[in-house]
Structure 1
Amino acid sequence: MKMHKPIMFVGTCSDAGKSVLNAGFCRILKQDGFHPAPFKAQNMSLNSYATPEGYEIGRAQAVQAEACRIACHTDMNPVLLKPSGEMMSQVILNGKPVGNRSAYEYFRKDDNARLFDEAYATFSRLSGRYSPIVMEGAGSISELNLKKRDIVNMRMAARAGADVYLVGDIERGGVFGSVYGSVMLLDEEERALLKGIIINKFRGDVRLFDEGRQIIEDLTGIPVVGVVPYLNDIYIEDEDSVALETRNNIPVEDKVNVAVVKLPQMSNFTDFNALQFDKRINVYYSTELSQIEKADIVILPGSKSTIKDLLYIREKGIPALLKQMQQANKTIIGICGGYQMMGERIDDPDNIEGIVSTVEGIGLLPMTTVITNHKKTVQQQFTFLDGRGICAGYEIHMGESTMHSNVRQLVTTIDGHADGIYLSEYCWGTYMHGILDNQEVIDRLVAPYTNEPGALFSYNEFKENEYDRLAAHLRQHINIKTIYDNAGILNQ
């Protein structure tokens, strides 16, 4: 395998579109006959994924690996920070938790020298197996107060010898100032790494920005290699739950309404992505009682801080409403942290989640949960109830749940492990993330509310097609040849 220079996308700000561009470029390289892999030294997200080896990484890098058509690996995201409230984050290093640190401890008390070396070591291992590596920065490249502690942006770019492309978000406004300021605040050595600028999320005719392109090039001395129109109809999984703000949040008529309780520390919201492509279903997110009670199905999602989120929804009066709805034969289900909430009690004897050692659960399922230091992280294949098809999902959780009566378990993995509780078709819970990516499960979930059959739909095939559509979109609006030429890549 011929080795090529890494290509890196950095941003003028958070949510500039770096993750999506990275995924698209991974697919482009794959289409062109290369063997790419994604890399982000440090990610901060509550949306994570289990690797085949049973470790944890950020969901964005799992998506990018999927675009490369390779299995995800911890070397693609060696440091993952999972915020847990009160300015604390769980630090995941090489796929396993190594403790909790405050933002001050992590970003101010030391220069993260060890983490930087660990991250570079994983990059080196990864670049020995794949080429080119498509790297991603985090947030803005010009956070001067954090610069000497940075392990993910220009410091990593310099150490890896990457060609760097700055992504500016024109939809936010002020793109000239953000691009020019980002470039000018870099050291001369860092500016030398910048090979191009990409203007992202442009609305309208891109030819209208021809003058703007020239102005940016004149100001910075760096070529604009692409002006990318806003992605109106191409679906790539979102990295974080901020994207939920733009989604529908109300019930609609003539659909099976599914309300997801919008927990403050909600994790793995991608559990509900496949539902939104089922024409029978309307998915919305809310904590308003008036909206939740209009749903046919209510889902309690995963949580990074289960006890804290349970206390939050109790203040809102949601548990009492869920009990009323369940008695009225509305469906209530829980996934991971939401599953734990549905039990009779949650104990945290070691105060892993905080100062509250025990809390009463909602009481919909006959079980109790003890929060433990051990984190289970594993991909799973399983059968759902008495189904004959093989489903896929993954577990990421801290805690063990014990059933208090002889109830039916929800799923059985191919290695014989049972998980979850099936009280009735209107009430069940599981630790299995991704369970609702399986059409068989979706059909069983909505069966009490509609006779309309589900369309033949493969979420995985759909995502594959969207990666190809994203690649075509970027090829049309980014000068791929220039990027290849800069990196010494010959199109195969």
Structure 2
Amino acid sequence: MNGIMFQGTASDVGKSLIVTAICRLLAGEGYRVAPFKSQNMSNNSYVTSDGKEIGRAQGLQAEAAGTEAIVWMNPILLKPRSDQQAEVVLLGETFQTLSGRDYRDTFYEKGIATIKEALSRLEKDYELIIMEGAGSPVEINLKDKELVNMKVAELADVPVILIADIDRGGVFASIVGTLGLLSPRERSRVKGIIINKFRGDSELFTDGISWIEAKTGLPVLGVLPYLDQHMIEGEDSLSLPDRFSLQGKTGLDIAVLRLPYLSNYSDIEPFLYEEDVAIRWVGSNKTFGRPDAVIIPGTKSTISDLTYLRKQGLDQLLIKYLQEGGTIIGLCGGYQMLSRTLIDAEGSDTGTPGKSVPGLGLIPAVTTFYEKKITVRASGSLYKNQEISIEGYEIHLGQTLPENGESLTPFLLLEDNRREGICELNGRVIGTYVHHLFHNDEWRSEWLNRLRSRKGLQTHKPVMLKTLKEQKYDELAERFAPHLDWQTLKEMMIGSGSRC
């Protein structure tokens, strides 16, 4: 197989971003390239055009590669539901919810077979497969049954490049330690090293490069700069503090509740492009303040996270905030929390069938959780202004319906003539199951301008995200390219197939 795999000395060293840049560079040179991550653990997901669910990172990497995202690019997605269990999404569809032990004991062989099939499918349709590992390849307690690092590189028979994050410190030890814990066979597959997130003049690291190459016998194929506010969506919540740094932004203050099982936080990413919008991640009543708007984001465990909000005293603050004229938007799980009552009919949210808990009571509705997950792309328009179109996707269990036949104003009118969500109090409280609501430029601009006008700020023209996104992919590739030994990397990728 022609391709290459990027593995890291730890989580959040920049693997996903580097793979995105490599895909863009290769696509720009005319190659048919596909990203691949055999097993992803993330609640930040992406819905393919056929309504299947994969890791968001692979969806974005496919966009950067100029190709359609498909389930074979991320055949296994693990979505944590608690500290002990995760939903297993297999080839885009819910398979089972398993504990870590059960996953290792019962799923391994099925996982290997699925990964082999995915690699075979991609090899038929693409010239190059750019693979991404997960975490560290030398987690000794997991190494015998891993499905995402060296085992996958062996199945694909591709070279491995090790990425180390110099910004977090300890870069020399992390490289030497990782290589030292690999078996001789695994170690022989590593063909180079990339140093990521370097701040300042890389010429000052020349001695460091020499030491690494002498100590490991491997070439350093790049010293990549630390990219501040690169705007490419992150894979998991580890990167939230850096990505949403306020950096002196003044204007609108939007509070987003930081839930323990936060999912699809890419819903919030568009605000990074708004020069006068500051995002604050709020986890307790002490930091709530007096925001211009509050967003309750999606969650993989709605009732558990609602319990967390209560323990933090945020439930009463939200009720008071709305009563005093505040604006609240609930997205997916956040929408469910707005209800008066939440009923886990099938035990699909809590594991306890029939469990019922009170919601925030901000809308006269009842949310009922069922067993079957809805995963679909959605498009339509605002219910009250059908000239404003909306596109997004739904990933959720259950339904939210008016309580006792009460009349609620829908938020959206979808193309299948389905009324979706709620919009009450002149838009001060909105709930919807449609993710990526704020990625719709006209709607986002209208909503923000209403907040700006209320605060006495100047209104802004819409920021066109689709155009900016393509520019950011290009900028990412352009900023990394001069710092890579690009020719050597390409020779490794293209030459790897000769060994199959």
Same-fold call, TM cutoff 0.5 = yes
1:368 paired residue number: 366
Distance in 2 between residues matched to 1:372 and 1:443, nearest whole Å: 35
Aligned-partner residue type, residue 19 of structure 2: N
Per-residue CA deviations over 1:222-260 (Å, capped at 9, x if unaligned) read 111111111124221111112223356889895221111
Q: Encode CA deviations 1:197-224: one digit per residue, 9 max, x unaligned.
A: 1011111211111111111111111111
Structure 2: tracts of 5 or more residues without a match: none
Describe the SS at the equivalent of 2:167. Answer: helix
State the partner residue of 1:434: 436
Rounded Cα–Cα distance in structure 1 between residues aligned with 2:246 and 2:203: 38
State the Cα distance separating 1:440 from its structure 2 match.
2.2
2:334 to 331, 338, 346: 338
**RMSD over equivalenced CA pairs, Å:** 1.9
Once the two structures are overlaid, the 10-residue window that deviates more, 452-461 or 264-273, is 452-461
Match of 1:129 in 2: 125
Match status 1:189 vs 2:185: yes
**Residues 26-425 of structure 1 aligned to structure 2 (within 5 Å):** 26-107=23-104, 109=105, 112-246=108-242, 255-354=251-350, 357-385=355-383, 386-404=385-403, 405-423=406-424, 424-425=426-427
TM-score if structure 1 supplies the norm length? Answer: 0.95
CA distance in 1, matches of 2:83, 2:219: 43
Percent identical among aligned pairs is 38
Please list the CA deviations of residues 41-73 of structure 1 after superposition, one character each: whole Å capped at 9, or x if unmatched.
000011111111111111111111111122211
In structure 2, distance between residues paired with 1:298 and 1:241: 19
Letter in 1 for 2:348: I
Q: Secondary structure at the match of 1:222?
A: coil
Residues 149-193 of structure 1: CA deviation (Å, up to 9, x unaligned): 011111110110112111011112221111112122222222222
Q: Shift of residue 355 of structure 1?
A: 5.2
Contact 1:84 1:265 (C-alpha < 8 Å) held by counterparts? yes
SS in 1 for 2:142: helix
Q: Which amino acid aligns with 1:425?
A: G
Q: Does 1:466 align with 2:472?
A: yes
Query: How many residues are treated as equivalent by the alignment?
Result: 486
| Cα distance in 1 between the residues matched to 2:194 and 2:245 | 32
How far apart, CA to CA, are the structure 1 residues paired with 2:364 and 2:214? Answer: 67
Unaligned runs of 5+ in 1: none
2:459 to 453, 465, 481: 453
Query: How big is the shift at 1:368?
Result: 0.6
Q: Secondary structure at the match of 1:279?
A: coil
Deviation digits for residues 274-327 of structure 1, max 9, x if unmatched? 123222322111023243241111111101000011111112222222121112
Taking a change above 3 Å as real, the CA distance of residues 487 and 247 of structure 1, as seen in their structure-2 partners, is closer
**For the structure 1 residues 250 and 229, does the alpha-carbon distance in structure 2 shift closer, same or farther, using more than 3 Å as the test?**
closer
* Structure 1 pair 250–70 and aligned structure 2 pair: CA distance change class (3 A): closer
* Residues 451-489 of structure 1 deviation map (CA, whole Å, 9 limit, x = unaligned): 323233211211111111111122110111001122336
Displacement of 1:447 after TM fit? 3.7
State the secondary structure of the residue aligned to 2:260. Answer: coil
